[in-house]
Amino acid sequence: MPLDKEKIKQVAKLARISVDEGKANNLSKDLNSIFKFIEQLNELDTEKVEPLTSILNQSLRSRNDEISDGKIREKILKNSPNKNEEFFVVPKVVE
């Protein structure tokens, strides 16, 4: 299904974007080459191919959830203009 300039302009109008003549020509060529590539992919036989969740043939390793403060509390609090011991002091927002 080749796309011509008129179809490109129609889609651009529906998408509410401006496309001049030069861009319409370039878009037409680019989209037609993309559609040709998609048609090539559709010709592939993928019946015996298992779907992948990753390119690696490994299952995900489990790890324990461990709570950690990162031991950088002092570094973080140095960024605060106002602090009270271990906490940030922020202006009251809700009355």
Q: For residue 30, what is the domain's CATH number? A: 1.10.20
Residue 78 lies in a domain: no
pLDDT value at position 87? 86
Higher pLDDT: 80 or 36? It is 36
Could you give the percent of the chain with pLDDT greater than 90?
A: 22
Radius of gyration of the chain measured on its C-alpha atoms: 28
Please determine, for residue 34, whether its predicted confidence score (pLDDT) is greater than 90: yes
Range of the domain at 16: 5-42
11 domain-assigned: yes
Which residues make Cβ contacts (< 8 Å) with residue 35, sequence separation at least 6? 1, 2, 3
User: Is residue 21 one of the residues assigned to a domain?
Assistant: yes
Q: Is residue 60 part of a domain?
A: no
Q: What is the pLDDT of residues 62-83, one digit of tens each?
A: 889 888 878 888 888 888 888 8
User: For residue 59, is it within any domain?
Assistant: no
Residues whose CB falls within 8 Å of the CB of residue 88, separated by 6 or more in sequence, listed in order: 77, 80, 82
Instruction: Tally the domains of the chain.
Output: 1
| 68 within some domain | no
Higher pLDDT, 16 or 69: 16
Does 30 fall in a domain? yes
In this structure, is residue 26 part of a structural domain? yes
